[in-house]
Structure 1
């Protein structure tokens, strides 16, 4: 390749990140925090992803949020449907924008995950969101929105249970500590005592590389996150603590998504890695498969940063509420994430 052409390609490769950095908050910028949620506040209920096909799950979700002490305002299209989605792309984005614009709404929670959030990530009013910071939470397919909103506005968002999740005591207490009580909480797995066994077999932490590290929390569902690579909505991974989870993916697909993050340059920038649950992520058909242990070792050990596996993050009953964009310290030996400041005001 001629030297002049090589130089042009180098300039083009550096121009895009520089332009994006001018339009979005940098890793050094102080995060924008929403007011904490309080009992009696109105929580907006939206469905940016899949439709809810029966009435009863929607009623149960509203009852759960009311039991948490909130008034609930369903979005205009929360019960809509177009194919698998809760309405058209325009309707789902309009619901979310309307909730941020509504002064009576203190925070916004997704009804469920599924798919479709990537279709509306470029339809949100990020200037409006920056002017009216509010709690916004969800997990799974909501990974794209919680990371995009933080990347484009600096607002701390929340990888949290969705409204349709099981609101067991562990999930409720974690949500209250981080979102309602404004605690600089320590996020750790639920304590499980074996009923009739020599060792605990649930909620276990596995240290892949020991150590402590500080940085901003980014991440969520691995396949959704990888689908954002190369876009202005992908998180800034410089000095970050990356947390990942997934469900129902063959191991070779987990490998492929991690290779996407590596080739995008995201992994080399990290301060630490927290791996949640990779539920039903098993070998596919064929001549054989790497194990998840081997895949994680291949991608994360060469980074030389602390890494642990088994955090209560993912498609599981008992879930942490993890603030995306908040400064935290991870300890790979104890399997904990300590918030260095409250994630809400």
Structure 2
């Protein structure tokens, strides 16, 4: 029997959620305010980390300040969820010599660079949510926003429809990730176990040959020998460099993944630059390569 990760307590209106910037610095306040408004309209109290407006190079402040905000949110007994304000880069820098207090379980919500936090939490068998960051939430269609809150409040979530890739059906633990971020976590203390996992991957602004290079490294490290299936989201702005001879991103994904002989689904609605449907980290899912459906137990 496959055992899911521990689920944090479900949310309810009136709960306190804290918004922090563990990675890149805030670009504009407009998208942030719209994201906060959505949470508030649902009845939640939203508190911003004290360093959320900081900027240190491409980071949202020095490591110690960003880590301080994360520590404060994680240790606050009133706080029931931690929402990343945006992605960018820098989350993994906070996790050197970091340990989670496992007597506490609360939601961490985000995607892209926030993969580092989601995977780190997965190493101690605590579930989280791969979902829009606060500054992208308002750009989501209503059904995706409702779907995210339904899951956070009820623990139930509807299936997602993609395109069939490789035949077969399999069940395993879902581990979503940004491909580029994930590859830099392999064989580090932040990498969760892949044994019996179904990996969900997306990426943005990477040339096809770079995606090829990353998937080839995953292959050479033997990662795909451990996992049971691959669920692919959107690989946006991953067109070839203009004027060069190249495979398309779709051709690279087929070439590097279809010979693995495990269930494979394309074009699920998650990732950058479009619908980013929530994906529970560490929960049991079924992936059907014949129908293109990703469903939850």
What interval of TM-score do these two structures reach, taking the shorter chain for normalisation?
A: over 0.9
- Structure 2, unaligned stretches of length 5 or more? none
2:213 maps to which residue?
256
The alignment partner of 1:296 has SS state of helix
How far did residue 187 of structure 1 move? 2.5
Candidates 94, 101, 111, aligned match of 2:75 = 101
1:87 maps to which residue?
61
Deviating more after overlay: 236-245 vs 297-306: 297-306
Deviating more after overlay: 261-270 vs 245-254: 261-270
Give the number of the structure whose alpha-carbon radius of gyration is greater: 1
How far did residue 176 of structure 1 move? 1.9
1:343 maps to which residue?
none
CA contact (8 A) 1:275 1:308 kept: yes
How far did residue 285 of structure 1 move? 5.4
Is 1:276 the counterpart of 2:226 in the alignment?
Answer: no
Compute the RMSD of aligned alpha carbons: 1.8
- TM-score (ref. length: structure 2): 0.93
1:142 maps to which residue?
114
Is 1:293 the counterpart of 2:250 in the alignment?
Answer: yes
CA contact (8 A) 1:64 1:163 kept: no
- TM-score (ref. length: structure 1): 0.81
How far did residue 45 of structure 1 move? 0.5
CA contact (8 A) 1:187 1:338 kept: yes
The alignment partner of 1:120 has SS state of helix
The alignment partner of 2:67 has SS state of helix
Candidates 159, 170, 176, aligned match of 2:149 = 176
Query: Structure 2 matches for 1:321-332, cutoff 5 A?
Result: 321-332=278-289
In structure 2, distance between residues paired with 1:325 and 1:286: 42
Could you report, residue by residue, the CA deviation over 1:165-198 in whole angstroms, capped at 9, with x for unpaired residues?
1243122122022211211x23214xxxxxxxxx
Is 1:186 the counterpart of 2:154 in the alignment?
Answer: no
More strand by share: 2
Matched pairs, number: 295
